[in-house]
Amino acid sequence: MMDTQNAAELCFPHLLNSSCRKPTIPWSEAVLLNTVLSFISLITAALNLLVIISVSHFRQLQKPTNILLLSLAVSDFLVGFLMIPVEIIRNTVCWLFGDILCTAYYYVACVVLSASNGNIVLISVDRYVAICDPLHYTTRMTVSRVKYCVWVSWLLSVFYFILYFKDELIQPGRSNSCIGECELSISYIAGTVDLFVNFLFPVTIIIVLYMRVFVVAVSQARAMRSHVTAVTLQLSVNVKKKSELKAARTLGILVIAYLICWCPYYCYSVVEVNLTSTPYAYFLFFLLYFNSCLNPVIYALFYPWFRKAVKLIVSLQILQPDSCEANIL
């Protein structure tokens, strides 16, 4: 009788000695948690898909800054469409998809999150050049150059994690203690290297650049207020500066949201080697993913062009001939 009861608690009852036990999350908590996370996943995927369609379809939006937002939206879309649903499955039921898919999931997740970091760094560089060196912005931050930087950022993430996951890729499932589990065990050295490469280094660049942007933006704002009665040419320059400052403020909010969502996870990783051992670690992991939902919400709140593009997409006006030439800005 006892053996039958124990077998019922296993993921694979016919493998008594090697099977994992089924997750023990109470049914009511599991339903509530999965409902909330599924809603976040749906909203994240839908909003970021709207950003992708907007920038890809409307030629007026295909500017260097928006190309960076497009790349960020692609990584955020993958978080909502793929990574959050897999995390829901991984944490609430037995893993039934094998060791190869488990390793592939972790690899793709890390590449996407690392590429997202790269996008935030590139956005910071873009704003730094626009505010601190506006005369050379159009020559330094061209569309083709930004696209090249985006591709390099993604490729670096792909190759970096091939090295990072070398042992897991050679022997999938080596971190699992039993069958029906999908875990990733990282050595202290590898975790420390990743902490510097994927968090401390990019965050340092972001903070340094935005501190410089903030100082210059404040001085420019004061200069514009002190020249209210300027000539027409000066007014046009001021309008240009004001739009750049507004963009810097909006993207600054995006960077702050990024830091709020990412810092707790990496700070916790410093004191806790096994990040999958506590419910608190799960919360921090989903907080990190929640950043992908916040980004398009920030666009919707501060970018009129995004709201106009969404109206045209939802009303299916983008299916009309020459809709890509629509005036969005």
pLDDT of residue 235: 45
φ/ψ (deg, to 5) at 179: -80, 135
Question: How does pLDDT run along the chain (329 residues), one tens digit per residue?
Answer: 435 545 567 777 776 677 787 777 667 777 888 888 899 999 999 999 999 999 998 888 889 989 999 999 999 999 999 999 998 888 788 888 888 898 899 899 999 989 988 998 998 898 888 888 888 888 888 999 999 999 999 999 999 999 888 888 888 878 777 888 888 777 778 778 888 888 888 888 888 888 888 777 777 666 655 655 444 444 444 444 555 556 567 767 877 888 888 888 877 776 665 555 566 677 777 888 888 888 888 877 778 888 888 898 988 888 888 888 888 87
d(CA 130, CA 125): 9
Output the CA torsion 238→207→141→55 (10° steps).
-90
Q: Looking at residue 296, what is its pLDDT?
A: 86
- The confidence score (pLDDT) of residue 277 equals 53
The two tokens of residue 252 are 């600054």
What is the biggest distance separating any 2 CA atoms in the chain, rounded to whole angstroms? 92
Angle between helices 232-271 and 201-225 in degrees, nearest 10: 150
Contacts with 107 (C-beta within 8 Å, 6 or more apart), sequence order? 161, 165, 168, 169
Planar angle of CA 122, 151, 116, nearest 5 degrees: 50
Domains defined for the chain, CATH in brackets: 42-316 (1.20.1070.10)
Angle between helices 279-302 and 84-92 (to 10 degrees): 160
Annotate 31-56 with b (16+ C-beta within 10 A) or e (fewer): eebbeebeebbeebbebbbbbbbbbe
- H helices of 58-142, in order, are 64-78, 84-92, 98-132, 137-140
